[in-house]
Structure 1
Amino acid sequence: MRQNGHRSRAGRLLRGVQRVSATRAFARLAPPVLPAVDRGLHRLTGGKVLLSTWLLPCVVLTSTGARSGRARRTPLACMPEEDGRSWILVGSNFGRPGHPAWTHNLLAHPDAVISRRGEDVPVTARLLEREERVAAWRAVLEFWPPYAAYQARVAREIRLFRLRRR
């Protein structure tokens, strides 16, 4: 009985976090704060801790800047796939109008590195399109329903990338 009560509280907490993360206020306040905190924690802990992992699986993506050619580090939520060798990244930009910069970087330079749990993993990114995107989008919405609210707020199609371990 106690265990069911714990699960029930955890479920309510998760649903509450999902409701908050789907709001416009969150989309306005989170982008300048969460990535900065995650980058700092990641650096301080040798890549082992990200605040965001308390909500979702996360990685730090190191990609090559599309225009600058410089290494760009971006903490991102991800959806690990069952094969254990690939991850889906969602270019939601917290439901804001433009595509996030990291998506432009991956389109220009698909070879990247993700850091997860203190391990650097070389990956190659591929933009998902057509039926493959539709199937991945369904899985992403099941995984984190607030992505539907993000998509509803923007005219652009949110980009999905599959990263595969090289």
Structure 2
Amino acid sequence: MVWRKFWRAVGDAPFFTPVARRVVTMDRWLSRATRGRVVALGMAPGLLLTTVGRRSGEPRQSPLQFVADGEAYVVVGSNWGGEKAPGWVHNLTAQPHATVTLGGRDIAVEAREASGEDRERLWQAFVDQWPGYRRYRETASHRTIRVFRLIPR
């Protein structure tokens, strides 16, 4: 718990995002190797999302932070506040059936995009968990960061 508090403070610092973007390759490797037991380098709750590539039809895995909302897993397409949404957002939009790997278990899910007040409530839950999301919203001000609820099916 102490480490999470430390990482939350570091994650909100201006230098964090440029450095963390370079480390994401290690996070991908670690999350796959541990079958979703260690994601987001252990800094926040994480899962491994497997989508179907909208063009390739091939499975695509993405380690993501999540917030629990009832039985659903909520994820956001922040892409570190980048210009474009991450590929998994487009994949989920094209094919909402996906798989979440969490704690070594595979869970079939269906994605539904949150909107309105529900989206804002879920967004605030992400900011509360990881204050750096506030910065992502500022740097991605030209686009709306999409929020998805992954519902077990």
TM-score if structure 1 supplies the norm length?
0.81
Q: Pick the structure with more helix per residue.
A: 1
Q: Superposition pairs for residues 62-101 of structure 1, below 5 Å?
A: 62-81=50-69, 83=70, 85-101=71-87
SS of 2:83's equivalent? coil
Q: Superposition pairs for residues 107-146 of structure 1, below 5 Å?
A: 107-146=93-132
Q: Tell me what 1:28 maps to.
A: 18
Q: Where does the alignment leave 5 or more consecutive residues of structure 1 unmatched?
A: 1-6
Q: Which of 47, 50, 72 in structure 2 is aligned with 1:59?
A: 47
Q: Tell me what 1:4 maps to.
A: none
Q: Distance in 1 between matches of 2:84 and 2:65?
A: 18
Contact 1:63–1:72 under 8 Å retained in 2: yes
Q: Deviations over 1:71-102 (max 9, x none)?
A: 10111111122x2x211101110111111111
In structure 2, the CA distance between the partners of 1:43 and 1:151, relative to structure 1 (3 Å rule), is closer
Q: Tell me what 1:50 maps to.
A: 38
Q: Distance in 2 between matches of 1:143 and 1:51?
A: 15
In structure 2, the CA distance between the partners of 1:64 and 1:26, relative to structure 1 (3 Å rule), is same
TM-score if structure 2 supplies the norm length?
0.87
Q: Distance in 2 between matches of 1:146 and 1:69?
A: 33
Q: Distance in 2 between matches of 1:48 and 1:62?
A: 11
In structure 2, the CA distance between the partners of 1:10 and 1:50, relative to structure 1 (3 Å rule), is closer
Name the aligned partner's letter for residue 44 of structure 1.
A
Q: Tell me what 2:149 maps to.
A: 162
Count, aligned residues: 152
RMSD of aligned residue pairs (Cα, Å)? 2.1
Identity %: 35
Structure ID, larger Rg: 1
